[in-house]
Amino acid sequence: MEKKLKSWQGWLLFGGSMVVVFVLGLCVSALMERRAEVASIFNNRKNVIKGIEARNELFKDDFPREYQTWTETAKTDFESEFNGNIAVDALEKRPEMVILWAGYAFSKDYSTPRGHMHAIEDITASLRTGAPVNPTDGPQPSTCWTCKSPDVPRMMEALGVDSFYNNKWGAMGAEIVNPIGCSDCHDPEIMNLHISRPALIEAFQRQGKDITKATPQEMRSLVCAQCHVEYFFKGDGKYLTFPWDKGFTVEDMEAYYDEAGFYDYIHKLSRTPILKAQHPDYEIAQMGIHGQRGVSCADCHMPYKSEGGVKFSDHHIQSPLAMIDRTCQVCHRESEETLRNNVYERQRKANEIRNRLEQELAKAHIEAKFAWDNGATEAQMKDVLALIRQAQWRWDFGVASHGGSFHAPQEIQRILSHGLDRAMQARLAVSKVLAKNGYTGDVPMPDISTKAKAQEYIGLDMDAERAAKEKFLKITVPAWLEKAKENGRLAQI
């Protein structure tokens, strides 16, 4: 019996080894075929590209599948329970956000993002960028263009990085005209993934890391991390900087900003020096289980697709919930309904805390204004402002990353709950200040039940804002595009 068992074990080991050899052989064969296909493409490229090329259409003939799927980022046909690729007026849905951003351009206009092909269109149409009438006019610096177009690295090369940032947004209107595309993530000559924005490289260097040593899998996230991160405009030159020197957590970045004495704006109501979070998607994703297990952004947002026997990355970058069969189910064997509900469950729980935090934080700003109006001193308000700053930083960090409640649900709920705690502490501190100044009643609350009412309360003239933007879109933007066409900045295809 023992001899028969050993004999079977031998055959099993032999058979298993042969299966491994066979599978490895298939993998090597597939790899060789892919290399041959890639070599064939590059040996027979119809458009030989040298240097930075921002015109996405010039990649169409050589990479038709990637190009076609990229054009699908123009679609606005998917909506999940909380997000999608449709522009939704977030201020209309959440008027408290108007109060939270009083004194900052986001209180005028904030919609959920659409696909990459809308990048230029959306930033141009946003009320946040104003209505500049000349290259030195307008509220925003040219740094605001940084993540919107492959024309950006082209202009950085032409002007120098410092000079690119140290301009007004309107100064670049006729140059930055192609939406996010090929050269943002690929070296145009050899198509390897590359980093085209200096801020990411510089952030790694300050941490003593060499980004050139990143693995191919890491690069499938790092090309996204050029833009989908928290950042700020440093100094008078508005130099784009990632606040990663102390680490990736909300507390690490807060410590970095506090040490530098930095704030994005002074709140119009509470007079708090506010930190405006951008969209720390990469940082938060690294804190969740998928990031910790080495899953890249592209694995879920750009899953592989097969067509005619050719395997390629789907460049229709969108929510994984729009294609669960090619994203979640590659690793998870549950049904689409189960996996979708798993995501919604995490989002709903985070949303409960978010709703409470926004309500309490808006009241804290209004109550702080009431305290100032009733004779509060800077010394009395010092602790109040510190708590409001901390609460709003945690709120914004937790909600500005649209996928955060799925990427790292425990971390997001921790951050938002700490924000709620500080908002409640701030309101308690304000009540003590008011009591010291002889007021012990309830603070009267304005009607901010709609976006329009909230904007009127904080003193915005939205009719004037919209009229100026409409004139800008009718006169200035067409002139930018005409000049870009004359200069060959737009592909004539």
Rounded (5°) CA angle 236-238-241: 125
CB 78 within 8 A of CB 85: yes
3-state helix, strand, coil in the chain (%, to 5): 60, 5, 35
Return d(Cα 260, Cα 215) in angstroms, integer.
33
User: What pTM was computed for the model?
Assistant: 0.90
Interval 102-121: pLDDT, tens: 999 999 999 999 999 999 99
- Across 415-424, b (16+ Cβ under 10 Å) vs e yields bbbbbbbbbb
If you search the block for the tokens 């425990």, which residue do you land on?
410
Relative to beta strand 232-234, strand 239-241 is: antiparallel
Taking alpha carbons only, the member of 472, 486, 480 closest to residue 129 is 472
- Dihedral sign (CA 287, 231, 348, 77): negative
Taking alpha carbons only, the member of 315, 234, 228, 323 closest to residue 279 is 228
Q: What is the 3-state secondary structure of 137-186?
A: CCCCEHHHHCCCCCHHHHHHHHHCHHHHHCCEHHHHCCCCCCCCCHHHHE
| SS3 assignment, position 84 | strand
Taking alpha carbons only, the member of 85, 370, 28, 313 closest to residue 191 is 313
- Dihedral sign (CA 184, 53, 214, 240): negative
- How long a stretch of residues is the chain? 493
Dihedral pair phi/psi, residue 293, rounded to 5°: -95, 5
CB 398 within 8 A of CB 132: no
Return d(Cα 274, Cα 348) in angstroms, integer.
27
Taking alpha carbons only, the member of 118, 105, 230 closest to residue 169 is 105
Binding-site residues for heme c, please? 116, 144, 147-148, 182, 185-186, 224, 227-228, 290, 297, 300-301, 315, 328, 331-332, 407
Region for 137 from its dihedrals, namely left if φ exceeds 0, alpha if ψ lies in -120 to 50, beta otherwise? beta
Return d(Cα 432, Cα 383) in angstroms, integer.
11
Binding-site residues for substrate, please? 231, 279
Return d(Cα 312, Cα 326) in angstroms, integer.
13
Binding-site residues, please? 116, 144, 147-148, 182, 185-186, 224, 227-228, 230-231, 276, 278-279, 290, 297, 300-301, 315, 328, 331-332, 407
Return d(Cα 78, Cα 84) in angstroms, integer.
5
Return d(Cα 456, Cα 192) in angstroms, integer.
50
| SS3 assignment, position 88 | coil
Amino acid, single-letter form, for residue 477: V
Binding-site residues for Ca(2+), please? 230-231, 276, 278
Write out the two tokens for 393: 């930083």
- Cβ contacts of residue 381 below 8 Å, gap of 6+? 271, 368, 371, 372, 433
pLDDT in tens, the chain (493 residues): 544 445 555 554 445 454 344 434 444 444 455 445 555 555 578 888 988 999 999 999 999 999 999 999 999 999 999 989 999 999 999 999 999 999 999 999 999 999 999 999 999 999 999 999 999 999 999 999 999 999 999 999 999 999 999 999 999 999 999 999 999 999 999 999 999 999 999 999 999 999 999 999 999 999 999 999 999 999 999 999 999 999 999 999 999 999 999 999 999 999 999 999 999 999 999 999 999 999 999 999 999 999 988 999 999 999 999 999 999 999 999 999 999 999 999 999 999 999 999 999 999 999 999 999 999 999 999 999 999 999 999 999 999 998 999 999 999 999 999 999 999 999 999 999 999 999 999 999 999 999 999 999 999 999 999 999 999 999 999 999 999 999 999 977 5
Burial of 142 (0-12, 13-18, 19+ CB in 10 A): buried
Q: Return the pLDDT at 491.
A: 79
β partners of residue 168: 141
Amino acid, single-letter form, for residue 112: T
Give, as one character, the DSSP assignment of residue 212. Answer: G
Interval 369-393: pLDDT, tens: 999 999 999 999 999 999 999 999 9
Q: Return the pLDDT at 46.
A: 81
* H or E element at residue 7: helix 2-43
